Amino acid sequence: MHDLTPHHRWQAAYIADEDERSPFYRQDKDRMHYTHAVYNHYIHPDWDAFGSSTLYMKLLYADYVEGYAIMEFIGEWNDTLHNDVMYLKRKVVDLMLPEGIHKFILICENVLNFHGSDDCYYEEWQEEAADEGGWICFVNTLQHVADEMEDTRLQFFVHFGEAFNNIEWRLQKPRRVFQMVEERVYRGSGQLRSG
């Protein structure tokens, strides 16, 4: 697990800890020592902590003109024990919304498990994003993770599932990834379900 690193190909265009508008601006981090772990396995120091003890992320790209951000995640998303969505919402999303980010692409292929609780933070996030024409999309979720997300009723607030899986994003530029996801969101294949 310590060999899995966040995507680095876009660093010539964007580095979160050098972006004054990023929640990770000037984040002190020791890139030589492994301090964070998932399932007792150390993870690469390039992953950023945001308050969760089991889930880490990397803000790969933010475009303040188009209003979107692409984030990559690793670990266990555990709302039941650790309320991970609360940390994500309060320490990352709530800082990005006032900066004009309203479309959120979360790369979830390295989210190994999901344990849901209630959907309040997802609903709040979706409402705030939608007020500005935005949305939330989980990309490339593992099937058992998507099943648990559906059991938690996240499909009412977040786009995810078959239409958003198998997206080849690593060789694309950020804008193309955004376009691919947005096309699927607006095509209706990723339409949120009504309660």
What are the tens digits of pLDDT across the range 156-177?
999 999 999 999 999 999 999 9
In the 3-class helix/strand/coil scheme, how is 40-108 assigned residue by residue?
Answer: CEECCCCCECCCCCCEEEEEEEEECCCCEEEEEEEEEEECCCCCHHHHHHHHHHHHHHHHCCCEEEEEE
**What pLDDT does residue 31 have?**
64
pLDDT-based confidence at 191, cuts 50/70/90? low
| Residue 4 located in a structural domain | no
Asked whether residue 80 is domain-assigned, the answer is yes
pLDDT value for 4: 78
Q: What CATH number corresponds to the domain at position 174?
A: 3.30.750.24
Nearest to 40 by CA among 75, 5, 69, 13: 75
Q: Is residue 128 part of a domain?
A: yes
pLDDT class for 36, splitting at 50, 70, 90? confident
pLDDT at 33 over 90: no
26-35, 106-115, 174-183: the lowest-pLDDT one = 26-35
Is 168 contained in some domain? yes
Domain membership flag for residue 104: yes
Q: Is the pLDDT confidence value at 128 over 80?
A: yes
Is 194 part of a structural domain of the chain? no
Model pLDDT, residue 95: 98
Triad 126, 92, 38: Cα angle to 5°: 105
Decide if 9 is inside a domain: no
Lowest mean pLDDT among 28-32, 62-66, 113-117: 28-32
Whether 21 shows a pLDDT value over 60: the answer reads yes
Banded pLDDT at 26 (limits 50, 70, 90): confident
Could you give the 3-state DSSP secondary structure of residue 109? strand
For 43-99, write each residue's pLDDT tens digit. 888 999 999 999 999 999 999 999 999 999 999 999 999 999 999 999 999 999 999
Considering its fold, how many domains does the chain have in total? 1
Q: Do 20 and 64 contact (CB within 8 A), yes or no?
A: no
Of 17-21, 28-32, 61-65, the least confident: 28-32
Whether pLDDT at 2 is above 70: no
| Structural domain for 23, as ranges | 16-187
In a domain, 5, yes or no: no
Instruction: Note the pLDDT of residue 39.
Output: 82
